[in-house]
Amino acid sequence: MAATSVAVFFGGPSAEHEISIRSADSLIGWLSAGGLAVGAFHLRRDGRVGTATFAPLTAGDGEATALSRARPASTHSWGGALESLAGGKFDAGFPIVHGTLGEDGSLQGFLATIELPCVGCDVLASALAMDKQKTKSLLMATTELRMPRGETIAPHEAADEVGLIARLARLALPLIIKPVDGGSSYGLSRVTERAGLPVAIRLALGVEGSTGALVEEQVVGDEVTCAVIGDAARGIESLPPILIRPHHGGMFDLEAKYTHGATDEICPAPLPPSTLARIEAAAKAAYRAIGCRGFARVDFILADGVPWFLELNTLPGLTRESLFPRAVRAAGLELPALFRRLVEDAMHGSRARAKAAR
């Protein structure tokens, strides 16, 4: 029997393009080590699609051989790429394009259109979770979760600086400003005086793909993140929470995220069992309310033992050093086996939905 074959999409137009390549690089390694055949689709910045195929790894190849394989040499127009996608060669699609296209529901909708089961969240959950403020509005209405107050500023509102400052007067300083739909801490800043708001808002709006600046009250406390896997039909499980301590003592910014050794990421988080249980329950509540499936990672600030929700990432980083893979290992799970299971779940889920629709 031919091996199950997965189309992995990565790259994309957002500021997280390079991070997505690194995520795909390790993901392709884990999928091949899990016995799956992989077709790589690199969504390049020039609009072309780079493709390559990888056979399943045999014992002894090791994961390392996947390194640097994710930059295919041959490129196509979308038409060419579509032909190979629609030819029945693949059993599932796995978008790992962080941000625009991959995390906002677009690629998920594209895969649904060409009837390829999609690993991870569907269109609605992806699109919703992409907007941090709309996600909080939903969670506020449907869960008991705590979360910071915030307001989104659209690009056309940024020029009226006096109006902006008046409108944001209801929010207490210090304030955190970030793209409402961005990731990886691009365009992130903290202001302690209202006069600093216009510059911070412009910075957040200037990030590639940003459609608004989220101005949010700062929650003071320890940073924790919790990965969740599964779906409502087959059960939802949380993985051990991770405590994040940037050495510079500030926020989990770009430097703290991507400079080797700049942050302590302790997994499982050395916290009392009751606090860990609270974080895991909060992460699962958010995952359930948004309607996620497959996998996701939920970010919180822990203030006096209470997790305050910041955001849910439907396509969290999957580089070798990323938080999601660390949580998987800490749970005693193997990454190749987990990703294989997520692919199989996507295939079964899609068959079940098709059957229910008939």
Question: The tokens of 33 are what?
Answer: 């080590």
Q: Which is nearer to ligand ATP, 25 or 265 (CB)?
A: 265
Q: Which is nearer to Mg ion, 178 or 293 (CB)?
A: 178
219 forms part of the interface with ligand ATP (CB under 6 A):
yes
Quote the CA–CA distance of 324 and 313 in Å, as a whole number.
10
Q: Which does 185 bind (CB under 5 to 8 A by kind): Mg ion, ligand ATP, none?
A: ligand ATP
Question: The tokens of 61 are what?
Answer: 């190849």
Q: How far apart are CB 354 and ligand ATP at their closest, in Å?
A: 32
Q: Which of 303, 322, 305, 304 has its CA nearest to residue 313?
A: 322
162-181: contacts with ligand ATP (CB under 6 A): 176, 178
Quote the CA–CA distance of 247 and 250 in Å, as a whole number.
8
* Number of residues engaging ligand ATP in binding (CB under 6 A): 20
289-308: contacts with Mg ion (CB under 5 A): 299
- Judged by DSSP in three states, 26 sits in helix
248-267: contacts with ligand ATP (CB under 6 A): 251-252
What are residue 314's phi and psi, to 5 degrees? -80, -20
What are residue 113's phi and psi, to 5 degrees? -65, -40
- The H or E element that residue 113 is part of is helix 106-113
231 forms part of the interface with Mg ion (CB under 5 A):
no
Quote the CA–CA distance of 310 and 225 in Å, as a whole number.
10
Tell me the residue type at 57: L
Question: Contact letters (x/-) for ligand ATP, 285-324, by CB under 6 A?
Answer: --------------x-x--------xx-x-----------
184-203: contacts with ligand ATP (CB under 6 A): 184-185, 188
Q: How far is CA 149 from the centre of its chain?
A: 22
Q: How far apart are CB 244 and ligand ATP at their closest, in Å?
A: 7
Contact positions vs Mg ion (CB under 5 A): 299
Contact positions vs ligand ATP (CB under 6 A): 132, 148, 176, 178, 182-185, 188, 216, 218-219, 223, 251-252, 299, 301, 310-311, 313
